Structure 1
């Protein structure tokens, strides 16, 4: 499914055509419609799964959980999205608000749809093994697994944006040092100073023989006084054809094909015309990618605390119905206590 069709089941396109989704976000094409469909799909899926959670207590609890579970995800997104967007701006990324929102909505859509896919399993254990502690841990594990898969989509999308240069600041052309210019001007007239051919000519173009002086042969050894003629490869550009072998080249330029490599010349192993490679400098990921992982942790902490604030979602059968509980303890202490009571 390569086309973007107006269907609430946008999850089908996300799973089958994720490359098309990333390209649409990169091009910032029709993101409002895409985000709206993801929002509608996520809200419906989370409402259905929330109803399953609250069904353990009563139909009224199922109704309230169907309202609170979508609210949990969307409010968490509203709290954390400005942080992600501003961090990207601080470190030079060129993501717009709509691109950031669409990326996070892809993760939430995948999470919600995967969670609702587990709803029949949750209902099965609700009917066959109605234990409150087990049912609560089972659904927490389902939501955690679904969230991990959704976050994998988020990191994948950010990596695609990084490959398109949206997570790195616009590079500023470096100024050539004065000594480089001076050495470039010392190149013989056959080699224009500071110029590199844009593209090698076709192999059918002829190249003139290269005369190697008697004092400097290709292998660096002394000759018997007669000039040696070396035939360069056919793809050597015409402006290099008459250049004597062993001539000096500007620092930062590779030695053209067919010419001897000066001892210790660092550019010999690089493509012709590429800038010098600085050894010992590890490749670093953009700061925006590192901040993404920090933001994911922040999103998780905010989400779990908000879930604790909006509880109950399951509804303890030993207590009466309540739309909210008093805020005491925290989510992680409750999970540890539940595990200990099993």
Structure 2
């Protein structure tokens, strides 16, 4: 008894190995060759319409993971609440500042469509998100070392600002470097970065707490008091006091003020 069957079409193994989804391909390019992503943005084309979603997902993955670990220093529940908050801060600040980026670029001679300007901003934010994702193991070690009473909370808060700042600087550095290689102006981007940083800090202040002051009841949000910049100054002073062996903040009144005006 004989059977016959049609031969299956031959599919090279290399094509299977080199055919990841668009999302994974974009993430890999952001890590290894962000200039290629920006070249794709500059060239335009049909695929440009799908790029903002991919870049936004890269950013959300990193901000969400880091936000969860930030809140997790207090409790798993705080981590689940902090993750969407940090995602909102990253993408929400970008949405608020995007019109300014497009206007600045136009004033300085950048010839980009609105979609291309969005993609370039998301390249920086996506790189920031992937950097935060890579820093997550480092954050776990750092938080485990410093998160001990009575001063651990202040070290965790200052450390979170440093980690977020480093990731943001890498995102901007990658974008600036790629634009310079293309011979394009970056002045509008530097001005916009300062604006984005201020908006991001204030938005983080609005949706706080991310961890919650030790001893205070758990709250989804806190009432607005002062500003993010005042709280950052108090946070820095509290860390300097603890390094000198003094109680955090120079007086009990300031300590109570910081607990009510929690920055993160």
Q: Report TM bin, short chain.
A: 0.7 to 0.9
> Where in structure 2 are there 5+ consecutive unaligned residues?
1-16, 243-264
Q: Is the 8 A contact 1:85 1:100 kept in 2?
A: yes
Matching of residues 155-166 of structure 1 within 5 Å: 155-160=176-181, 163=183
Give CA deviations for 1:131-154 in whole Å, capped at 9, x if unaligned. 101111111111111111111122
Runs of 4+ in 1 over 6 A off after TM superposition: 1-4
Which residue in 1 is equivalent to 2:190? Answer: 293
Give CA deviations for 1:172-214 in whole Å, capped at 9, x if unaligned. xxxxxxxxxxxxxxxxxxxxxxxxxxxxxxxxxxxxxxxxxxx
Aligned with 2:217: secondary structure?
A: coil
Answer yes or no: is 1:146 the counterpart of 2:146.
no
- Using the alignment, how far apart are the partners of 2:233 and 2:85 within structure 1? 23
- Using the alignment, how far apart are the partners of 2:142 and 2:175 within structure 1? 31
Give CA deviations for 1:42-81 in whole Å, capped at 9, x if unaligned. 1122111101111122222111111111110111011100
- Using the alignment, how far apart are the partners of 1:96 and 1:7 within structure 2? 23
Which of the pair has more CA radius of gyration? Answer: 1
- Using the alignment, how far apart are the partners of 1:49 and 1:57 within structure 2? 14
Q: Is the 8 A contact 1:312 1:323 kept in 2?
A: yes
> Where in structure 1 are there 5+ consecutive unaligned residues?
168-285
Answer yes or no: is 1:337 the counterpart of 2:234.
yes
Which residue in 2 is equivalent to 1:258? Answer: none
| Distance apart, 1:158 and its partner CA | 3.2
Q: Is the 8 A contact 1:312 1:324 kept in 2?
A: yes
Q: For this pair of structures, how many residues does the alignment match?
A: 218
Which residue in 2 is equivalent to 1:319? Answer: 216
TM-score (norm 1): 0.59
Which residue in 2 is equivalent to 1:305? Answer: 202
Which residue in 1 is equivalent to 2:250? Answer: none
